[in-house]
Amino acid sequence: MKKFLDQISEQVENAFEAAGYDRDMGRVTVSKRPDLCEYQCSGAMAGARRFRRAPMDIAEGAAQKLAGCSMFSEVSVVRPGFLNLKLSGDFIRGYLEEMRTDARFGAEPTDNPQTIVLDYGGPNVAKPLHVGHLRSAVIGESIKRILRWHGDRVIGDIHMGDWGLQMGLVITEVKKRQPDLPYFDPSYSGEYPAEAPFTVEELEEIYPYASARSKQDPAYYAEAMDNTHRLQEGDRGLRALWQHIVAVSVADMKKNYRNLDVDFDLWLGESSVQSLIPGMVRDMKESGLAYESNGALVVDVAEETDSREIPPCIILKSDGAALYTTTDLATLLDREEKYSPDRIIYITDKRQELHFRQVFRTAAKCGIVRPETQLVHIGFGTMNGKDGKPFKTRDGGVMKLSALIGDIREEMLSKISVNTEIGEEEAMQTADQVALAALKYGDLSNQASKDYVFDIERFTSFEGDTGPYILYTIVRIRSILNRYRSEGGTDVRELAVRAPQSAQEKALMLDIAGLSEMLEGAWSDLAPHRICGYIYQLSNDFNSFYHATRILTEEDPDKKEGWIALLSLTERILCACIDLLGFSAPERM
């Protein structure tokens, strides 16, 4: 089904052509002056020079060809040459009917799907998930759903940090606390215990402790480095201990991500590509693209057009150790080999921009990816507290994700139990669901690259541009539909939409008609905030319509049924949109 705006444009393009002008002059946009018209076309001005005619003349000519066209209720020409358009109720009705009777609201999946690897989440093993990882998970999950809705084949990979010094630090501290474990006994040749020698809580306490101590205690640091090397060299005992660290940590991550309604197809990490590094480095050296500089192995990636200096990409440090960059290059090699993706998209803090620029250029230059593989980094801004500084706990520590979610849940629960008389269990479940919406919407409604202020009060408010407001709107619609059903109304899904009766109803219908256009934009820009903007407007327009219309008490059954159909369509669209954002609505709240 053709997009709404394309259908209108096509009609106006025909008119320009029939009047003797070029089709491209008939492109229509949403009106910038909604007080005057709904859609507008400024092609007459753009084409005036080309045709050496006054724009007013051109516009008049095109307008004449639109006379009597059933798509418009009004076509007017205004200085200096605009075509102002209002749509006929019947045309809008017909379009919405097509949307209503299709499971995808008339938006067909692409016939040119891409294979896309989406690298998001990126938590680090043995370290607690903190709010910095929240954005990657929330934005990534939504982008994944948007791409899939479009029809692309998406492989979501969590790409954990499960290698390197952080693991050596944890191992060192475990050894200090439990020196007698078999993992540290080089002469031990039996099977290692199946049970991990620590809980996840202990693990989360061990890492920060070890990290802080290594900064003050050079001997401790040296030991951690040594353990890191041994692990990387394949020491049997340390490997077995490392596996416990990963398993305990991953089990906890899975729980956390499940609570966030975020999931991954692949649970790979930095460790999974380590075996590819030696061969990759050898090839890079052999091609002459990687060379030694001050003892390190580097690849030049600066380009003439760079406006700021891009330093060489370091592949191996002078002690021969691989880096974050090296692992990302090896991961690219692996992904190319396994999936030959059209695109690989990374979602991290925007402070990693230089890192990805270096990785992407090195990968292209050294032939690690095919020339046609598109590499994209979406860098997001910082989540700040109300003081404008990166979000911290009340006592200034790093905020754990679970604590943050707990806070929102509590806030939501207090609002929900005050508002309704639902039982405790349902209230708790609803609070969870609404809290997740508050959290995700609060994040996704901003353009990803921007910093934003995490404001619990605002995010959990039932009014304004918030997740709870959207859910509240959905619940309101559902309650009307339920009442209609309980009063013996016909099957809601069978009812047809009618032409609008009021300005409010028309505005709501026009919002609905713009769905495909908006989704296409959200897909091409990888921009969940477009969906938020759309459903906020849709909710506002629905609520204006609702306040202006007595729906259930309407005497005329035709009118009433048309409105019920419109409500049901609105509800389905809101639900489809929040699903793309990664949350859902409760039955009541």
Shortest Cβ 322–ligand ARG spacing (Å): 13
Binding mask 116-135 for ligand ARG (x = CB under 6 A): ---x--x-x-----------
CA distances from 359 to 485, 492, 520, 551 (A): 58, 54, 29, 58
* C-beta atoms surrounding 505 within 10 Å: 22
Per DSSP, the three-state class of 148 is: helix
Question: Which residue do the tokens 């009340």 mark?
Answer: 394
DSSP string, 449-484: TS-EE--HHHHT-SSSSSHHHHHHHHHHHHHHHHHH
The residue with its CB nearest to ligand ARG is: 122
Based on CB atoms, which residue is closest to ligand ARG, 379 or 489? Answer: 379
Under 8 Å between Cβ of 532 and 521: no
Shortest Cβ 120–ligand ARG spacing (Å): 8
Shortest Cβ 24–ligand ARG spacing (Å): 42
- Residues 40 and 48: their CA atoms lie apart, in Å, by 17
Per DSSP, the three-state class of 380 is: strand
Shortest Cβ 159–ligand ARG spacing (Å): 4
- Residues 424 and 447: their CA atoms lie apart, in Å, by 37
Binding of ligand ARG at residue 328 (CB under 6 A)? yes
Closest CA to 135 of 483, 384, 307: 384
**Contacts with 14 (C-beta within 8 Å, 6 or more apart), sequence order:** 23, 26, 65
Exposed/middle/buried for 428, CB within 10 Å: 0-12, 13-18, 19+?
Answer: middle
Question: Per the structure block, which two tokens stand in for 578?
Answer: 């929040």
Shortest Cβ 260–ligand ARG spacing (Å): 16
Based on CB atoms, which residue is closest to ligand ARG, 301 or 538? Answer: 301
According to CB under 6 A, which residues from 279 to 308 bind ligand ARG?
Answer: none
According to CB under 6 A, which residues from 522 to 551 bind ligand ARG?
Answer: none
Shortest Cβ 121–ligand ARG spacing (Å): 8
Based on CB atoms, which residue is closest to ligand ARG, 115 or 540? Answer: 115
Based on CB atoms, which residue is closest to ligand ARG, 47 or 161? Answer: 161
Under 8 Å between Cβ of 66 and 13: no
Q: DSSP assignment, residue 310?
A: -
Exposed/middle/buried for 2, CB within 10 Å: 0-12, 13-18, 19+?
Answer: middle
Shortest Cβ 161–ligand ARG spacing (Å): 4
Based on CB atoms, which residue is closest to ligand ARG, 204 or 328? Answer: 328
> What residues pair up with 374 in beta bridges, in sequence order?
343
Question: Per the structure block, which two tokens stand in for 392?
Answer: 């911290």
- Residues 496 and 566: their CA atoms lie apart, in Å, by 8
Binding of ligand ARG at residue 257 (CB under 6 A)? no
Shortest Cβ 584–ligand ARG spacing (Å): 27
Under 8 Å between Cβ of 412 and 167: no
Shortest Cβ 273–ligand ARG spacing (Å): 10
Shortest Cβ 176–ligand ARG spacing (Å): 26
Question: Per the structure block, which two tokens stand in for 437?
Answer: 């919406």
In this chain, which of 159, 335, 415, 476 binds ligand ARG, going by CB under 6 A? 159
Preceding peptide of 80 cis, ω within 30°: yes
According to CB under 6 A, which residues from 338 to 397 bind ligand ARG?
Answer: 346, 348
Q: What does the H/E/C string look like for 41-95?
A: ECHHHHHHHHHCCCHHHHHHHHHHHHCCCCCEEEEEEECCCEEEEEECHHHHHHH
Based on CB atoms, which residue is closest to ligand ARG, 33 or 317? Answer: 317
- Residues 49 and 360: their CA atoms lie apart, in Å, by 45
Binding mask 160-179 for ligand ARG (x = CB under 6 A): -x------------------
According to CB under 6 A, which residues from 27 to 46 bind ligand ARG?
Answer: none
> What residues pair up with 72 in beta bridges, in sequence order?
87
According to CB under 6 A, which residues from 412 to 451 bind ligand ARG?
Answer: none
Shortest Cβ 348–ligand ARG spacing (Å): 5
Based on CB atoms, which residue is closest to ligand ARG, 161 or 586? Answer: 161
Under 8 Å between Cβ of 338 and 114: no
Query: Angle formed by the axes of helices 515-524 and 4-18, to 10°?
Result: 100
Based on CB atoms, which residue is closest to ligand ARG, 118 or 431? Answer: 118
Based on CB atoms, which residue is closest to ligand ARG, 47 or 132? Answer: 132
Based on CB atoms, which residue is closest to ligand ARG, 124 or 362? Answer: 124
Binding of ligand ARG at residue 140 (CB under 6 A)? no
Shortest Cβ 489–ligand ARG spacing (Å): 51
Based on CB atoms, which residue is closest to ligand ARG, 84 or 124? Answer: 124
Under 8 Å between Cβ of 570 and 473: no
Question: Which residue do the tokens 């398993």 mark?
Answer: 247
Based on CB atoms, which residue is closest to ligand ARG, 163 or 545? Answer: 163
Shortest Cβ 274–ligand ARG spacing (Å): 14
User: How many amino acids of this chain bind ligand ARG (CB under 6 A)?
Assistant: 8
> What residues pair up with 453 in beta bridges, in sequence order?
384
Based on CB atoms, which residue is closest to ligand ARG, 266 or 499? Answer: 266
Shortest Cβ 146–ligand ARG spacing (Å): 20
Based on CB atoms, which residue is closest to ligand ARG, 38 or 328? Answer: 328
Q: DSSP assignment, residue 352?
A: G
Interacting residues toward ligand ARG by CB under 6 A? 119, 122, 124, 159, 161, 328, 346, 348
